[in-house]
Chain A
């Protein structure tokens, strides 16, 4: 399946620019914004940038960066003033591609945890699944409500030098960022209301409503009797702001593991008036911490017995345990095949070419060209455990060569794709920076894709790393109505 892969794109090729055409004229859909910025002048922009930062600071829109201290550092959400604009036509294609992908991945999960036809038919090697860290034996033959495993997904998209959207990775465990997508919009609307006058921007603020509807749909006691909780690891988690945001927006309890107790395979909340039955748990705690009786016995974040309650059909877990195997970076390479296999359709969105380090031919190719590669540990996320080839030192490359040879299943490599760029307002200047896009998909009664997503920006000049934990920023993302 890797035939036809080109060698890495030469570093000289210019990345796609979202904002400008080749002659530094703005693209048509950016023209009204461009005119407006020119009229507004630098001083106004500087003032607005300050206002935006202050608003986020006061409101306490933060994320936590892990460091050596136990508490981590709480940082204000980084926000860039200038919105990214996606024309309606472009979005229609993305939306169709995302729906298709999530539908296929969900069917894949159902199959992997039931008959495993896809392995028997030789489409995916058994070893790839069984050795995946996120393949959970506890989930085999369990039927989650309505056969949905991936209720909430975030898919990271980038654009290649021709401007074609590619999927960089799928996030099917506990993808975060949706609250920041909404906060970006709230701040943008407040600080730059005049921008909106020139565009018809589709709204994103109803996301929590869609989410609540999808969660209610899963209740074992029916949507009308749904007691829902958001399960958080607590205030030191990097996405704690988001957990409170979602609980508050939906009007449901925000619980920690110690607030829940399982009795007779039924999950209960410990309230000031006694125990209260819980039907749906939107958990923002990873599988391995979810239930000390099944997974890590030393975890204090989870709830003892919650897996049994789930298996007995007494509670819905969102996303389903074990869903992580479908976003394993090694499985990722097979997603186009997965789409063809389950849906009989041609994938609408392409993958970034991916080399499997278990394949001796691929491995040799990658190790000989590490400077042009991005190497990722399959079990890591958030920009941890990565080698960025062009920015690496010889010592780092030697280190990764050793690590890859020691445990090839744990690594994949991709040629460096020069992410598209966009203008940002930085310290009084308009400068171009690389970015990606994470739209969010809710799988409930239907599949909903909120028109927009989280655009993450690499704030350091030339950098391709956009994660907020690595110093990245963000932009409001506008999908145009037509």
Chain B
């Protein structure tokens, strides 16, 4: 398929996944605030979110005093046009890319996405009232789920579908790794608190933000234990938001697409990610440092993105130079 269109399909699904992830994070954070009232200042509650979405720099530009409040964070992550991860901007990006690739997405997919965009575009001009927030986030998540469902049931299986999978799972893996990292690294600096009620709520919130609470309960019977959470979220090959699941899906997608390169950097990046996940057990990873492990994983994800860019999206640009 056309390189530019492949890139658009890829970004369409990345932006859509981002929309979904942002809505999840906000929704769970709001619920979590209600559940755990002893959890400290407003700033302490919301600042980790900013860290997860790597938004500190842009946030500073928009709110120069740097103070983090719930109302500001909601605005920043829902409506802010200058924040490419806000629901508004990400959905706009998804729709714009779908428009570019409109001859590749099915009519059903396009209409669902366009309708979704029109609703959010209408919403974004006025402030989201606190009692509407949760309803709005659920709506966003339902719309993304509808889009995925329509995609699976109407999109021709071919290269475009594979690029859709690559975008979805790369973005999802990225977000899962960040959520886990922030939780582990920043929320709980005090090891003594492990096992406290606060800890229960926080790990619970993490699992819920990944739609994994029920799956966790079904498979692990020792209560909420960080090691088991890591096992599910990082290593499980059956949990659809785990790091390993994402790597498996991306590997399959690349095999479907095939490569004309003798030395396939995309394949190497995927092999690297896979090796990271199969070489060690959860205990080992936690002992040696989950943060270092996740940093490694995130780095390799960005290598994967760069090599996709290089091998599929910008292929043959060199030749154009020769002709002119």
Contacts and interface: CB of A to CB of B under 8 A. Distances in A.
Given A253-B103, A269-B2, A57 B315 contact: no
Interface string A254-296: 1110110111000001111111000000000000000001000
Interface residues of B, number: 28
Interface stretch (B11-19, B70-78, B108-116): B108-116
Nearest to A262: B323
Contact of B315 (A60, A258, A274): A274
A272 B320 contact: no
Contacts of A270: 2-4, 315-317
A228 B100 CA distance: 18
A107 B315 CA distance: 43
A58 B3 contact: no
Given A60-B114, A272-B312, A255 B2 contact: yes
A248 interface: yes
A332 to B, nearest CB: 35
Contacts of A253: 1-2, 5, 103
B250 to A, nearest CB: 16
Interface string A222-258: 0000000000000100001000100110000111101
A248 B103 contact: yes
B319 interface: yes
B115 A58 contact: yes
A59 interface: yes
B323 A272 contact: no
A59 B6 CA distance: 22
Contact of A274 (B96, B100, B102, B260): B260
A58 B115 CA distance: 5
B159 interface: yes
B232 to A, nearest CB: 35
Nearest to A263: B323
Given A60-B110, A60-B114, A259-B4, A272 B257 contact: yes
Given A258-B4, A304-B324, A275 B114 contact: no
Interface in A34-75: 57-60
B319 to A, nearest CB: 6
B99 interface: yes
B118 A261 contact: no
A261 B315 CA distance: 12
A467 B257 CA distance: 45
A256 B260 CA distance: 23
A272 B315 contact: yes
Contacts, number: 75
Contacts of A255: 2
A60 B111 contact: yes
Contact of B323 (A58, A274, A304): A304
A258 B260 CA distance: 21
Given A253-B2, A262-B323, A59 B103 contact: no
A270 B159 CA distance: 15
A321 interface: no
Nearest to B100: A235
A132 interface: no
A59 B257 contact: no
Contacts of A258: 4
Nearest to B317: A270
A431 to B, nearest CB: 29
Interface in B101-125: 102-103, 110-111, 114-115, 118
A263 B320 CA distance: 9
B263 to A, nearest CB: 16
Interface string B158-176: 0100000000000000000
Interface in B3-44: 3-6
A255 B1 CA distance: 11
Interface in B272-324: 312, 315-317, 319-320, 323-324
Contacts of B320: 261, 304
B96 to A, nearest CB: 7
Contacts of A273: 258, 260
Interface centre among A244, A272, A273, A305 (most CB of B within 10 A): A272
Contacts of B118: 57-58
Given A258-B4, A304-B324, A275 B319 contact: yes
A58 B109 CA distance: 11
Contacts of A305: 323-324
Contacts of B159: 272
Given A60-B110, A248-B103, A261-B323, A275 B316 contact: yes
B305 to A, nearest CB: 16
Interface in B124-139: none
Interface in B82-110: 96, 99-100, 102-103, 110
Given A58-B111, A59-B111, A235-B100, A271 B323 contact: no
A270 B317 CA distance: 8
Contacts of B100: 235
A240 B4 CA distance: 16
Nearest to B102: A244
Contact of A272 (B1, B102, B103, B111): B1
Contacts of A59: 110-111, 114
A21 to B, nearest CB: 42
Given A255-B2, A269-B2, A270-B3, A235 B319 contact: no
Contact of B3 (A60, A235, A263, A271): A271
Contacts of A272: 1-3, 6, 159, 257, 312, 315
B96 A235 contact: yes
A271 B160 CA distance: 12
B104 to A, nearest CB: 9
Contacts of B317: 270
A256 B4 CA distance: 9
A272 B310 CA distance: 11
B3 A261 contact: no
Interface in A381-416: none
A274 B257 CA distance: 13
Given A58-B115, A248-B102, A248-B103, A261 B4 contact: no
A309 to B, nearest CB: 11
Contact of B114 (A58, A254, A269, A271): A58
Which 5 pairs from chain A and chain B are nearest by CB? A244-B102, A248-B103, A60-B114, A247-B103, A272-B312
5 contacts: A59-B110, A261-B323, A270-B317, A271-B1, A272-B6
Interface of B: 1-6, 96, 99-100, 102-103, 110-111, 114-115, 118, 159, 257-258, 260, 312, 315-317, 319-320, 323-324
Given A253-B2, A256-B4, 6 more contacts: A60-B99, A244-B99, A261-B323, A270-B315, A304-B320, A304-B324
